[in-house]
Amino acid sequence: MIDLTEYKKVENSLNKTNKKLKLLNLAKDKFFSIIAHDLRNPFQSLLGFSEILATEIDTLSNEEIVSFSKGLNDDLRNIYGLLDNLLQWSMIQRNIFDYKPGNVNLHDLVSKIIGISNQSAKDKNITVFNNIEDGTFVYADSSMLRSVIQNLIVNAIKFTKQEGRVFISSIEKNNFIEVSVEDTGTGIATKLIPNLFNFNTMFTTNGTEGENGTGLGLPLCKELVERNEGKIWVETERGKGSKFIFTLLKPVS
């Protein structure tokens, strides 16, 4: 009889290594796809707007100048969000994320993020409500938490139609603070939910007015929430909106 134990160990190790290499290749392909497509398109738009303003500004009306300037601002804001997500994704892939938790004023943080995202909401006549009580604190890395909330709010606005609403709320449950970002948008098909938070199955769909994305946001949110010892999930119904919920630790006294 031949002892195949060591052979099996080597075979299993090789299979695991091959699986990791495949996932890394998928991540690399996705990264280059984002750079080639999702970054190139807004830059083309930026170049178009800036060229018109640089060469034809004397012939433009005030309304046209405002319109082109607004287009520039929208594109720059989208590119900044994309670059921020790419940077954090790359740091996660290389396992160099610096975790610095502390007590964070949740109400104030949400108010700042709403201010940053407010132009996108105004463009669609969407009202964003900060329903978190003043003085609510959580224990988390403030940079990671900002990224999570900003991604969820941007997503909510993206998939909500004109005149819709977005609500950011929190409740205390046992040893956690449960935070939710709820919208009156299009909702999510049940078959898509299992892949929403997975880096390996990243996908994106256009928003209610054609807004596009990379599919990075929700997997990134999951990674960042879990690094803060929390969990994230979604409650949704097609045509009736979505509610993304995640947990955070209570503040340390």
| Residues 101-131 pLDDT 10s | 999 999 999 999 998 887 788 889 999 999 9
Q: Which CATH architecture has domain 101-249?
A: 2-Layer Sandwich (3.30)
- Residue 237, pLDDT above cutoff 70: yes
**pLDDT of 209:** 79
How far apart CA 253 and CA 248 sit, in angstroms, is 15
Q: Is the pLDDT of residue 31 over 70?
A: no
Locate 15 and state its tokens.
Answer: 């299979």
> Which segment of 36-40, 51-55, 152-156, 175-179 scores lowest on mean pLDDT?
36-40
The answer to whether the CB of 187 falls within 8 A of the CB of 237 is: yes
Helix, strand, coil proportions of the chain in percent (round to 5)? 55, 20, 25
19 band by pLDDT with thresholds 50, 70 and 90 = confident
- Measured at the CA of 17, the angle between CA 11 and CA 23, to 5 degrees, comes to 140
Judge contact between 100 and 227, C-beta under 8 A. no
Q: How far apart are CA 43 and CA 45, in angstroms?
A: 5
The predicted model gives 230-250 an average pLDDT of 95
Q: Residue 98: is its pLDDT beyond 60?
A: yes
CA distance 133 to 107: 6
Looking at the predicted structure, is the pLDDT value of residue 1 above 60? Answer: no
32 Cβ contact partners less than 8 Å away, ≥ 6 residues apart: none
Query: What are the extents of the domains in the chain?
Result: 5-93, 101-249
What's the whole-number mean pLDDT along residues 52-70? 86
SS3 208: coil
On the question of pLDDT at 62 being above 60, the answer is: yes
Residue 94 is predicted with a pLDDT of 73
Q: Residue 100 and residue 113: Cα distance in Å, rounded? A: 20
* pLDDT for the residue 35: 65
Would you tell me how many other CB atoms lie within 10 Å of the CB of residue 88? 19
CATH class name, domain 5-93: mainly alpha
Per-residue pLDDT, 224: 93
CA distances (Å), origin 22, targets 82, 158, 216, 218: 24, 32, 19, 22
